Amino acid sequence: MARVTARTSDIEQAAGVLRAGGLVALPTETVYGLGANAEDPAAVARIFQVKGRPPSHPLIVHIVGADHLDDWVEDVPAAARLLAERFWPGPLTLVLRRSRRVPLEATGGLETVAVRVPDHPVALALLAAFGGGVTAPSANRFGQVSPTTADHVRAELGEGVDFVLDGGDCEVGVESTIVDVTGDVPSILRPGGVTREDLEAVLGYPLAIPSASRVRVPGQHPSHYAPRARVVLVEPEKVVAEAERAQELGHQVGVFLPPAFTDVPVKAHAVVTIPGSVAAYARGLYGFLRELDQQGCDLIVASLPVEEGLGLAIANRLRRAAGPRPTA
């Protein structure tokens, strides 16, 4: 997987843009982020404007290392220290009580803040050069598919971004796992790149997991991560029949063909064969959705993977992509 190391001059320039209150798109191991100086309320406000995201939706503050955690949060429980030590840098976000350094603009008015250390050399170089925290949501328009390449960011946000740091294709491909560590027992608010099994192995006890149908925290609406095409989920063995039925009804159907059906011919507009490895599926997921949109599909027929390991995060994103959409 391409992990381009940005030139030092690009990193310096991007850090300068952050200092001047501008927005920088930065690569992380999960997806690209749309970054601003976390301590600059005006710059943070611009993120919401460029994304078209309601200002009540909290953002993640990216920091350069676990040793900086106490600059941004208060009351760090032992479980949070353990998880930070074990999984940072990496696709894990911890929700903790915010310190006064974090403006309420970045937390959507909440007294908690989400923090993570991204595992990407370009993101870490930027954080080191900038010297502060970078608050960054995924660099997509609100509710849509997250970008996993610099080209996705440019296509989606264009002039809205002051500087795009190209760090190649994102290796994980789905967002970080968000764990709320403010309560007695940590709970997963969003499944992601660090698996529930890995978290539980380190903590030594089971975690609560989210139900996709409930809006648990601001910023997690039923319809999210959605391509333009409508997404329909069926059992894996029904994907081909459902796709052909919809195509016959006049839809331009895109198919997420499960790995077990690779050799089955499908009469549909466009077909993506799902990789057999769940890591490759996660890495490719958002690109597949974008590709089927680009090919002009108006309906995507897919099935859910087994909901363990990274499959839990993939299933969560597909359910939300298939969720009811706001009526225009």
Q: Which of residues 157-176 bind ligand TXA (CB under 6 A)?
A: 175-176
Nearer to ligand TXA, 112 or 316 (CB): 112
Listed ranges 67-75, 134-142, 274-282, 292-300: which one lies at the site for ligand TXA (CB under 6 A): 134-142
CB of residue 296 to Mg ion, shortest distance in Å: 25
Written as six digits, the tokens of 239 are 């994907």
Neighbour-count burial of 250, counting CB atoms closer than 10 A to its CB (0-12 exposed, 13-18 middle, 19+ buried): exposed
Query: Which residue in 95, 99, 122 sits closest to 35, CA to CA?
Result: 122
Q: Give me the sign of the Cα torsion angle 212, 215, 218, 220.
A: positive
CB of residue 34 to ligand TXA, shortest distance in Å: 8
Q: Which of the listed partners (Mg ion, ligand TXA, none) does 176 bind, with a CB threshold of 5 to 8 Å by partner kind?
A: ligand TXA
CB of residue 218 to Mg ion, shortest distance in Å: 12
From the list 14, 23, 60, 157, which residue makes contact with ligand TXA (rule: CB under 6 A)?
60
CB of residue 229 to ligand TXA, shortest distance in Å: 21
Interface pattern 137-156 for ligand TXA (x via CB under 6 A)? xx------------------
**Interaction of residue 135 with ligand TXA, rule CB under 6 A:** no
From the list 14, 17, 84, 189, which residue makes contact with ligand TXA (rule: CB under 6 A)?
189
Nearer to ligand TXA, 170 or 272 (CB): 170
For the CA atoms of 247, 281, 6, 63, the dihedral, rounded to the nearest 10 degrees, stands at: 120
CB of residue 263 to ligand TXA, shortest distance in Å: 35
**Interaction of residue 47 with ligand TXA, rule CB under 6 A:** no
Cβ-based neighbours of 113, under 8 Å, separated by 6 or more: 58, 61, 72, 73, 95, 96, 97, 98, 99, 102, 106, 107
Q: Which of residues 267-306 bind ligand TXA (CB under 6 A)?
A: none
CB of residue 96 to ligand TXA, shortest distance in Å: 8
**Interaction of residue 95 with ligand TXA, rule CB under 6 A:** yes
Listed ranges 68-76, 107-115, 161-169, 231-239: which one lies at the site for ligand TXA (CB under 6 A): 107-115
From the list 15, 25, 64, 114, which residue makes contact with ligand TXA (rule: CB under 6 A)?
114
For the CA atoms of 114, 128, 30, 288, the dihedral, rounded to the nearest 10 degrees, stands at: 130
Q: Which of residues 200-229 bind ligand TXA (CB under 6 A)?
A: 217, 219-220
CB of residue 146 to Mg ion, shortest distance in Å: 5
From the list 23, 69, 94, 136, which residue makes contact with ligand TXA (rule: CB under 6 A)?
136
φ, ψ dihedrals at 304, nearest 5°: -90, 140
Name the residues that contact ligand TXA, by CB under 6 A.
28, 30-31, 33, 57-60, 91, 93, 95, 107, 110, 112-114, 118, 136-138, 175-176, 178, 189, 217, 219-220
